[in-house]
């Protein structure tokens, strides 16, 4: 960060994520290295032939969507966001990285209507409880509130995703949802209630913090 707290990436306009540079501005969350754990898990899953259709919920800069499209040459990615300025950044990143033809960017709450049958859903939705969202000069305070504020208990957007998730995927699909220690047990409980027969696990990051919930549907 800079002396004023502004994230360095907003000053340079760039942030590295999983071996690529992403253009960023104040309309998107600065991609975090912790999110690369979801990428690793997703890439392993996508190695099985026939798994192609991917949904990135809350794409922001497009870091997740563009990385999956870049690493998996036949992946077809839909990336949603409720922020039009964020989608413009994401679409530009896809064009620059040469994956625009296999990425669709949709202004949508969780997911475009009428689409289903995804093999893989990745989501890094806002998960900080409203009262805990850091304020300036904390660097997170410079990031879009839409990207950080998860409502009263931090799980408002994940509740919306899980309400729709069963109709978005088929048996054998994978869902990866990023959160952080204060909210991850709540997210795990929601996931278990939504997918009672799925294999659901919590995974940690390199700092040994609980980082994402993994749902393998049956």
Ligand X SMILES: C[S@@+](CC[C@H](N)C(=O)[O-])C[C@H]1O[C@@H](n2cnc3c(N)ncnc32)[C@H](O)[C@@H]1O
Give the helix ranges, DSSP H, for 24-123: 36-46, 63-71, 84-96
Could you report how far apart the first and last alpha carbons of the chain are, in Å?
A: 44
Q: Per-residue contact track with ligand X, 143 to 162, x per CB under 6 A?
A: ---xx---------x--x--
Contact pick of 9, 125, 162, 215 for ligand X (by CB under 6 A): 125
Give the interface segment with ligand X, choosing from 120-128, 131-139, 184-192, 208-216 (CB under 6 A): 120-128
Token digits for 164? 């729709």
Angle at 107 between CA 103 and CA 108, to 5 degrees: 105
Query: Cβ 211 to ligand X, closest distance in Å?
Result: 12
The count of chain residues that interact with ligand X, using the rule CB under 6 A, is 24
Contact pick of 89, 91, 99, 110 for ligand X (by CB under 6 A): 110
Give the interface segment with ligand X, choosing from 40-48, 97-105, 118-126, 199-207 (CB under 6 A): 118-126
Q: Per-residue contact track with ligand X, 4 to 33, x per CB under 6 A?
A: -------------------------x-x--
User: Is the torsion defined by CA of 181, 37, 116, 97 positive or negative?
Assistant: positive
Examine residue 63 and tell whether it contacts ligand X (CB under 6 A).
Answer: yes
Contact pick of 126, 129, 139, 154 for ligand X (by CB under 6 A): 126
Burial zone of 218 (CB within 10 Å; 0-12 exposed, 13-18 middle, 19+ buried): exposed
Confirm if 69 and 75 have CB atoms less than 8 A apart.
yes
Confirm if 67 and 90 have CB atoms less than 8 A apart.
no
- Which residues lie near ligand X (CB under 6 A)? 29, 31, 35, 57-61, 63-64, 80-83, 86, 109-110, 124-126, 146-147, 157, 160
């Amino acid at each position: 960060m800079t002396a004023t707290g502004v994230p360095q990436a907003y000053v340079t306009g760039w942030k590295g994520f999983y071996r690529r540079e992403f253009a960023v501005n104040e309309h998107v969350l600065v991609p975090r290295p912790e999110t690369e754990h979801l990428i690793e898990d997703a890439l392993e899953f996508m190695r099985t032939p026939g798994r192609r259709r991917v949904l990135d919920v809350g794409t922001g800069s497009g870091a997740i969507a563009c990385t999956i499209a870049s690493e998996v040459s036949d992946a077809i990615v839909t990336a949603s966001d409720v922020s039009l300025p964020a989608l413009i950044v994401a679409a530009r990143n896809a064009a620059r990285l040469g994956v625009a033809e296999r990425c669709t960017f949709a202004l949508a709450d969780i997911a475009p209507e009428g689409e289903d049958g995804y093999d893989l859903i990745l989501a890094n939705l806002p998960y900080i409880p409203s009262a805990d969202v850091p304020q300036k000069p904390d660097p997170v305070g410079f990031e879009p509130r839409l990207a950080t504020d998860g409502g009263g208990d931090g799980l408002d957007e994940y509740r919306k995703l899980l309400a729709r998730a069963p109709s978005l995927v088929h048996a054998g699909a994978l869902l990866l949802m990023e959160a952080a220690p204060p909210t991850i047990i709540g997210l795990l409980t929601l996931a278990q209630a939504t997918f009672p027969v799925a294999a659901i696990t919590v995974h940690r990051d390199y700092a040994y913090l609980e980082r994402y919930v993994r749902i393998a549907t049956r």
